[in-house]
Amino acid sequence: MHTVAAVFLFAVLASSGPALAQPPSDDKIYDDVRLRLAGDRDVKGGALEVKVEQGVVTLRGKVRSEKIKEKAARITRKVKGVKKVINELEIELPGGARSTAGA
103 vs 71: CA distance, rounded Å: 14
Q: What pLDDT, on a 0 to 100 scale, did the predictor assign at position 53?
A: 98
Say what the pTM is.
0.73
60 vs 50: CA distance, rounded Å: 7
Give the domain range for residue 95.
Answer: 24-99
Distances (CA, A) of 25 to 1, 14, 99: 40, 23, 33
In a domain, 3, yes or no: no
In a domain, 7, yes or no: no
Split into its structural domains, the chain has a count of 1
Tell me the pLDDT band of 64, cut-offs 50, 70 and 90.
very high
In a domain, 10, yes or no: no
Tell me the average pLDDT across 45-69.
95
3-class secondary-structure state, position 86: strand
Q: What pLDDT, on a 0 to 100 scale, did the predictor assign at position 68?
A: 96
33: domain CATH number is 3.30.1340
Q: What pLDDT, on a 0 to 100 scale, did the predictor assign at position 93?
A: 81
In a domain, 9, yes or no: no
In a domain, 8, yes or no: no
In a domain, 68, yes or no: yes
